[in-house]
Amino acid sequence: MADIHLYTDPNWLTPSGLDAVVQDITNNADAVITGPATPGSFPSGMSATHPMTIVVNGDLDMNGWRNTGYGLLVVTGTLHYDPDATWEGVVLVIGQGNFISTRGGDGQIDGAVFIAKTRDGAGNELPSSTGLGASSFSQTGPGTHVGQGINYNSCIARAAEGPITYKVIAFKEIPLPN
């Protein structure tokens, strides 16, 4: 049997590493919102051609929001997701690590979702020696009508990272042979 090794950035394996990732995203976000919040706090102008990075420090309640968000959404508290909402991009629930959906709807998440518990109930970072805490995902809408699900899409997930820009620091022309 072959031994398979997958590359994982070490920052995504510990509470302090993930909190550093969240801090880096926060420092470069289009909007940083203090929770508890609703999508009414989202900046205007977000669209498929203009995705945004939005960080909610605390809880985000999306119940009753029947729109589409685009880009990277980070929630450090509990995300109350309404399956009538759609998100095109990446959703990171890092901190309290709770994703809760208790309603029915026709929306979906296209891209990726990552949930991790890095903090205890008092907001203190968990010790790296104990590792990540137990995150929670719960979707209990009425009957089988709980939205169209979470659809992993690597193209949309990559697009949520934003454009990659390059700076030319040197170049050399190579003449073609005659």
- 43-71: per-residue pLDDT in tens? 999 999 999 999 999 999 998 899 999 99
Which one is predicted more confidently, 9 or 168?
9
Cis status, amide bond into 51, omega within 30 of 0: no
State yes or no: pLDDT of 99 exceeds 70.
yes
Closest CA to 19 of 119, 89, 90, 115: 119
| Cα–Cα distance for residue pair 14/121, rounded to 1 Å | 17
Residue 1 pLDDT? 40
Name the pTM for this structure: 0.82
DSSP 47: B
Element (H, E) at 18: helix 15-27
Residue 72 makes CB contacts below 8 A (sequence gap 6+) with 25, 51, 52, 53, 54, 89, 90, 92, 160, 161, 162
Q: Tell the residue number behind the tokens 């909402």, with chain if given.
A: 85
Residue 2 pLDDT? 42
- 78-97: per-residue pLDDT in tens? 999 988 889 999 999 999 99
Task: Report residue 164's pLDDT band, with 50, 70 and 90 as the boundaries.
Answer: very low
Across 115-136, average pLDDT: 91
